[in-house]
Structure 1
Amino acid sequence: MDTSLGLRERKKLRTRRTLIETGLRLFAENGYDATTVADICAAAELSPATFFAYFPAKEDLVFADQPERVAAMREIIAARRPGEPLREVLMRGMDRLAVSEQWSIPPDDELVAIRARLIATEPALRAVALRRLFDVQREWADALAEAFPDELDELGAHAVIGSVVGAVIGVALANLRRGDAALPMPEAVTRAAEAAMAGLPPAVR
């Protein structure tokens, strides 16, 4: 936790973390649909009002880090330096997403594996994950098309983002299935992004 934050902010981060960890573990133990907000609050010893101050709904707890990651990548794309190649911009973004400890659920956190198993086994969460994935790709593709107007049109931007995001998700899930033989997640994500970028036409790299 960032020690430069004030006491109040650190307390809010601890409360948020408690809700995320408690919720994901209860979903894994009892099922997503069967676990209520009241169950999470009782286990975390927090009130429902506190829960809803942090998360509008259960699904927002599961994907607590998504808004942070979406905003971070958009910021990096928008800050493209003049003449900076597409590959460098995207790899800089992927590096930040893979290694930063600022996320609600860091890349190497055990909760990542718990969430992945939930999405794989809970039909309701699979549908939510797919919808949110489309939203993420649309936001990043729009940012990419705006940052690279001479290199990419709307369709090209979506193709690039789809290639990179698809590779990263596929490799991350495969890496989690390796158990004790898994690579550190930042390394796996970087390898996936590099492989996806290598497969793009030279004109847009």
Structure 2
Amino acid sequence: MAEPGLRERKKQRVRAAISEAAITLFQESGFDGVTVAEIAAAAEVSKPTLFAYFPSKEDLVLHRFIDHEDEPARVVRGREPGVPPLAALRRNFLDGLDRRDPVTGLNDTPQVLVFHNLLYSTPALITRLTAYMLRAESALADALAEAAPGDEIAPLVAAAQIFGTQRVLGDRNVRDMRAGRGADDVHPEAAARAEAAFDLLERGLAPRFG
């Protein structure tokens, strides 16, 4: 993949500066206690510039998730020939755990812990995150439908189950991080939970609950 050009690197720096300024202010005063104007001033940009990078105040926090919105669908569409969609999604989640990807919840850096504390204490962010997840779920359902054409309901049910599973796994990892456990310490447990959860997806609920 080619390195980003000068213009793109500058945009990335501005975006990062705005996000960091927002998180710092939110940490100090809470999400509802900070205005967009205050964030723009702290990042030394205008309000129109801020909104060009982040369409809403909630996006200043949730862009870490929103930037991954189409990832599950891309994983399904980009899998190697002969690899089932669920196997590709399992591998992608386990790889995310290995990388300590914040989206998996298994990340104990201070910035990510601040993010999770903000997320779980702010109803407006939870509402926005739910909308993001529904869009991502719909995109995954479309990709699964392409992989198994002719079935209207199965891709929708599968996408809902996959997203529900990943949400449960991520929430458990976040709970461990917020309790003060280290990501390296939790990783073997998190990987084992993920393997067991994807096994349940692959085999269906009947053997366990039928």
Question: Which bracket does the TM-score occupy, shorter chain normalised?
Answer: 0.7 to 0.9
Question: Following TM superposition, by how much is the alpha carbon of 1:23 offset from its aligned partner in structure 2, in angstroms?
Answer: 0.7
Q: Which of 156-165 and 36-45 deviates more?
A: 156-165
Aligned twin of 1:113: 113
**TM-score, normalization: structure 2?**
0.77
Aligned twin of 2:197: 196
Question: Following TM superposition, by how much is the alpha carbon of 1:95 offset from its aligned partner in structure 2, in angstroms?
Answer: 4.4
**Does the alignment pair 1:162 with 2:163?**
yes
Amino acid at match of 2:41: A
Q: Secondary structure at the match of 2:58?
A: helix
Distance in 1 of aligned mates of 2:106 and 2:204 = 32
- How do 1:15-54 residues align onto structure 2 when only pairs under 5 Å count? 15-54=14-53
Q: Secondary structure at the match of 1:199?
A: helix
Deviations 1:54-98 (A, max 9, x none): 111111111113333122321111123343134421123324555
Q: Which of 78-87 and 28-37 deviates more?
A: 78-87
Q: Which runs of 5+ in 1 are unaligned?
A: none
Aligned twin of 2:184: 183
Deviations 1:123-160 (A, max 9, x none): 22222222322322232233223324489813431343
Q: Secondary structure at the match of 2:32?
A: coil
Q: Does the 8 Å contact 1:175/1:183 carry over to 2?
A: no
- Size of the aligned set, in residue pairs, is 202
Q: Does the 8 Å contact 1:94/1:189 carry over to 2?
A: no
Aligned CA-pair RMSD: 3.4
Q: Which of 3-12 and 72-81 deviates more?
A: 3-12
Q: Does the 8 Å contact 2:69/2:132 carry over to 1?
A: no
Distance in 1 of aligned mates of 2:193 and 2:9 = 34
Aligned twin of 1:142: 142
Deviations 1:19-65 (A, max 9, x none): 11111221222121221111101112222122122111111111113
Aligned twin of 1:131: 131
Distance in 1 of aligned mates of 2:123 and 2:52 = 27
Q: Does the 8 Å contact 1:98/1:185 carry over to 2?
A: no
Q: Does the 8 Å contact 2:58/2:124 carry over to 1?
A: no
Distance in 2 of aligned mates of 1:25 and 1:101 = 22
**TM-score, normalization: structure 1?**
0.79
